[in-house]
């Protein structure tokens, strides 16, 4: 997904059953299976996640360009399914796998809620969720990126994920600055029998201005760290720092009580270019030039060929 390329764990060509249950020997030692090097239980958790991701990714990005009816209901259901998956983790799951799955969950929340080919307008509550989940993601990935020992699961794709999280954070904060910085929780019209909207992460006593400044600093720091490991990540860091500059200056002025010009900063929404067949026209984010672009300058505008957010 980080490259906005199609993948599927659900279509008929590869729709297969999960691996066989644990062997009788493993069942006899079920209490310790998750601590063994090759536990199948951990692989099953990943298979379940990938199947769920594939389902909503195909629906939102790959199936059609027709607007999705009852979009919020569908997205809230997908988020609930992923949340229930995360609540199924056994107590014996090693911390390294727990961290890995928690990051996957937070990234998936942001990806699923963000604008897509079929849902281009995110409700205010969805923007609040993106704001909060992005902060939670960065608080978790920053120390992991600096860990010199526990980095076996992390690749250049994680640099792309951090860049994507950063782009969504800038977008929602730019569009809803006062609402998010003032901590206003939008009203959500809950329909009985429909899935509830995802809950917000536990609140903190820290002011949202400081939280926003800290999150941008963490994104920069993480991309800088990844840039030492993978050369291509340096371009991601440079692009993010450039595009975050105006908003960061606004945040610092607000923090120090300096009046802010009423002129809104440009809309920072990452929208890769898709061809008429629905395929991404570019293979890699690092090759598509300026990432944060006013959507009105893209071919076709919001209703043309610039749809979806990787």
* Per-residue model confidence as pLDDT tens digits over 66-91: 999 999 999 999 999 999 999 999 88
Q: What is the residue whose two structure tokens read 């063994």?
A: 36
% the chain with pLDDT above 90: 52
d(CA 123, CA 125): 5
Q: What is the residue whose two structure tokens read 């998750």?
A: 34
Q: What is the pLDDT of residues 95-150, one digit of tens each?
A: 999 999 999 999 999 999 999 999 999 999 999 999 999 999 999 999 999 987 76
CB–CB of 269/171 below 8 Å? yes
CA distances from 204 to 46, 127, 190, 211 (A): 31, 18, 25, 9
Phi-psi region of 70 (alpha: psi -120 to 50; beta: other; left: phi over 0): left
d(CA 249, CA 246): 5
pLDDT at 302 over 50: no
């Amino acid at each position: 997904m980080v490259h906005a390329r199609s993948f599927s764990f659900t279509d008929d060509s590869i729709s297969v059953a999960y691996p066989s249950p644990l062997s009788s020997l493993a069942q006899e030692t079920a209490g310790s299976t998750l601590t063994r090097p090759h536990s199948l239980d951990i692989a099953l958790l990943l298979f379940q996640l990938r199947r769920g991701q594939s389902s909503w990714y195909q629906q939102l990005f790959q199936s059609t360009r027709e607007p999705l009816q009852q979009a919020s209901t569908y997205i809230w259901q997908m988020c609930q399914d992923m949340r229930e998956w995360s609540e199924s983790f056994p107590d014996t799951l090693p911390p390294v796998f727990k961290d890995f799955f928690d990051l996957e969950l937070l990234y998936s929340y942001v990806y699923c809620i963000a604008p897509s080919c079929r849902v281009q307008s995110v409700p205010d509550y969805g923007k609040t969720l993106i704001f909060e989940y992005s902060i939670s993601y960065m608080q978790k990935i920053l120390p992991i990126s600096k860990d010199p020992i526990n980095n076996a699961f992390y690749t250049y794709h994680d640099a792309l994920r951090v860049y994507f999280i950063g782009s969504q954070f800038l977008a929602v904060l730019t569009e809803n600055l006062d609402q998010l910085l003032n901590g206003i929780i939008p009203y959500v019209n809950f329909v009985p029998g429909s899935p509830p909207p995802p809950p917000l992460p536990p609140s903190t006593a820290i002011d949202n201005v400081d939280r926003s400044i800290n999150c941008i600093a963490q994104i920069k720091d993480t991309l800088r760290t990844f840039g030492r490991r993978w050369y291509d990540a340096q371009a991601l860091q440079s692009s993010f720092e450039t595009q975050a500059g105006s908003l960061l200056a606004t945040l610092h002025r607000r923090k120090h009580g300096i009046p802010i010009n009423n002129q809104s900063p440009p809309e920072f929404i990452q929208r890769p270019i898709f061809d008429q067949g629905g395929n991404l026209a570019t293979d890699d984010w690092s090759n598509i030039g300026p990432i944060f672009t006013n959507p009105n300058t893209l071919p076709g505008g919001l209703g043309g060929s610039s749809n979806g957010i990787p």
